[in-house]
Amino acid sequence: MKLTDQYHKWVEWSEEDQVYIGKCPDIITGIHGDDPVALYAELCNEISDVIEYFKSEGRPLPKPIVRPMKEVV
C-alpha cells in the first residue's frame, strides 16, 4: 500500500461554485477543476507532494482521521 492510500480523498460537484472539488481534509483543504477524472489524478499528486514535503522537513504526517461513511442497509 502506498502512503497516500491511507488518506481518504474524493471529488464532488459543487453546485455553488459550478466546478468539481477534490478533497482530502487530512492533508489539504481542496482543489478544483472541470474534469473529475483529471482532478482526482491532480489531487493524488498534490497529496504525494505534501507528504514528500513533510518527510523532507522531518515533520510527522497528519494522522488519517477522515473516513468514508458506511451505508446503513
**Cell 473529475 belongs to which residue?**
36
The pLDDT tens digits of the residues spanning 8-64 come to: 999 999 999 999 999 999 999 899 999 999 999 999 999 999 999 999 999 999 999
- Long-range contacts at 1-4 (CB < 8 A, ≥ 24 apart): 3/51, 3/61, 4/44, 4/47, 4/48, 4/51
Residue 20: CB partners within 8 Å, gap ≥ 6? 11, 12, 13, 14, 32, 33, 34, 35, 36, 39
At residue 72, does pLDDT exceed 60? no
Which residue segments constitute the domains of the chain, with CATH numbers given? 3-57 (3.30.160)
Model's pTM, two decimal places? Answer: 0.86
